[in-house]
Structure 1
Amino acid sequence: MPSHFRHSASASHNADFEACVLPYLDAAYNLARWLSRDDADAQDVTQEAMLRAFRYFNSFHGGDARVWLLAIVRNTFYSLRAKSAPDDAHELFDEDAHAFVDEQPSPEARALLSVDVNALQVALTHLPHPLREAIVLRELEECSYKEIASITGQKIGTVMSRLARARERLRAELSNTYTEARRHDVR
């Protein structure tokens, strides 16, 4: 192929990538930040994920670029984590042992918006990775259950179960925080 055709194809590839994927860079960093719980690690994960997304952009055949990118961020985080963490440092999560069905029909965002942001951030950091990523994708990135299932490679029922457990754990953590704070109130 003559060099001017390669340059033109490369410029088109770059422009397509920028138009399609770069608008979701903040969402990618946000997910990486919540998964890693560290700014520097989140930057590394985001950078590596963006490189992977660029490298494999030819495999993206339309659809939701945000979901595609967030799946890459998630996979990048877990693959980098697996390389750097000793085997016993991985969190074990038994899906059957932690089964919980959320029967409350109220909107999730209403409960989360009514809480102190700092307390919520602390409570989120205490959740195991599978629960944290589900709640972050749903509440902060506003992904649908179907999108979360696609990003995480889980069934929608598993996503719903994880979200219910994450909400329950957050409620418990936040109610403990407020109960403790009320004990120290001066009247």
Structure 2
Amino acid sequence: MTAGGTTSAFEAAIVPWLDAGYNLARWLLRDEAQAEYAVQEAVLRALRYFHALRGGEARAWFLGIVRKTCFTHLEQRRDGREQNGLEDDHLEVLQWSAGLAGQDPALLVEQSQGRGRVDAAIRALSPPLREVLVLRELEELDYAEIAQVVGIPIGTVMSRLSRARAQLKMRLSPTGQAGRS
């Protein structure tokens, strides 16, 4: 295959999954700038090893590379604590809502608080639970794809997903702990 053909095949296989890779990286690293950097590095690794993708599922293969890249970054910056990496959710909501004329400000605040509670509840999950939840619920991967990305058996995926959902439900209940993370 020519260099141009390889580039075209790479773009067709990987570019559609860049947003999913960024989303996973953002949840794992909890920092938007680090997530962007990790995805860029993952793209370079994917390009370097593109020949290893032999007709397989490019999404799961690429997300696996993103995941490994994120864990490498976490190992490198580990100093005994995980960074909060809190996003400016309120600013995002205001920017998003700026284009929506006639929205009730009280409704926007309520939506922002609800979204913030969900984000806080997801951030409070341990990384193994958070990653399977993000891959399943936000990226809509099936159990087999999640198992491939994370490198664990499907039964472990189901178990972690069940625990993640239970903890999320508990944290989001009126008596839960979502606001205490």
TM-score (norm 2): 0.76
Give the deviation of 1:64 after TM superposition: 1.0
Q: 1:140 to 1:11 in 2, by over 3 A?
A: same
> Equivalents in 2 of 1:142, 1:13: separation in Å?
28
Please name the residue that 1:34 is paired with.
Answer: 27
> Equivalents in 1 of 2:5, 2:142: separation in Å?
31
Structure with greater Cα Rg: 1
Q: 1:55 to 1:118 in 2, by over 3 A?
A: same
> Equivalents in 1 of 2:134, 2:120: separation in Å?
13
Q: 1:180 to 1:58 in 2, by over 3 A?
A: closer
> Equivalents in 2 of 1:58, 1:19: separation in Å?
14
Q: Among the aligned pairs, what percent are the same residue?
A: 47
**Which of the residues 17, 25, 44 maps onto 1:24?**
17
- 2:143–2:154 CA contact under 8 A, matched in 1: yes
**Structure 1 unaligned spans of 5+:** 1-7, 91-114, 182-187
Give the deviation of 1:157 after TM superposition: 1.1
Please name the residue that 2:148 is paired with.
Answer: 150
Please name the residue that 1:63 is paired with.
Answer: 56
Give the deviation of 1:139 after TM superposition: 0.2
Q: How does 1:1-187 map to 2 (within 5 A)?
A: 9-86=2-79, 88-89=80-81, 116-176=114-174
Please name the residue that 2:103 is paired with.
Answer: none
> Equivalents in 2 of 1:83, 1:167: separation in Å?
30
Q: Which string of whole-angstrom CA distances, capped at 9 and with x for unpartnered residues, describes residues 93-114 of structure 1?
A: xxxxxxxxxxxxxxxxxxxxxx
1:70 partner letter: L
**Structure 2 unaligned spans of 5+:** 83-112
Q: Which string of whole-angstrom CA distances, capped at 9 and with x for unpartnered residues, describes residues 161-186 of structure 1?
A: 111110111011101467999xxxxx
Q: 1:163 to 1:11 in 2, by over 3 A?
A: same
1:130 partner letter: P
2:117 partner letter: A
> When the two structures are aligned, how many residues end up with a matched partner?
149
- 1:119–1:177 CA contact under 8 A, matched in 2: no
Q: Which string of whole-angstrom CA distances, capped at 9 and with x for unpartnered residues, describes residues 12-68 of structure 1?
A: 111110111111111110110111111011111111111100111011101211011
- Which stretch of the first structure deviates more once superposed, 169-178 or 73-82? 169-178
> Equivalents in 2 of 1:166, 1:180: separation in Å?
13
> Equivalents in 2 of 1:180, 1:133: separation in Å?
18
Q: 1:125 to 1:9 in 2, by over 3 A?
A: same
Q: Which string of whole-angstrom CA distances, capped at 9 and with x for unpartnered residues, describes residues 118-171 of structure 1?
A: 211111011110000010000000011111011000011111111111011101
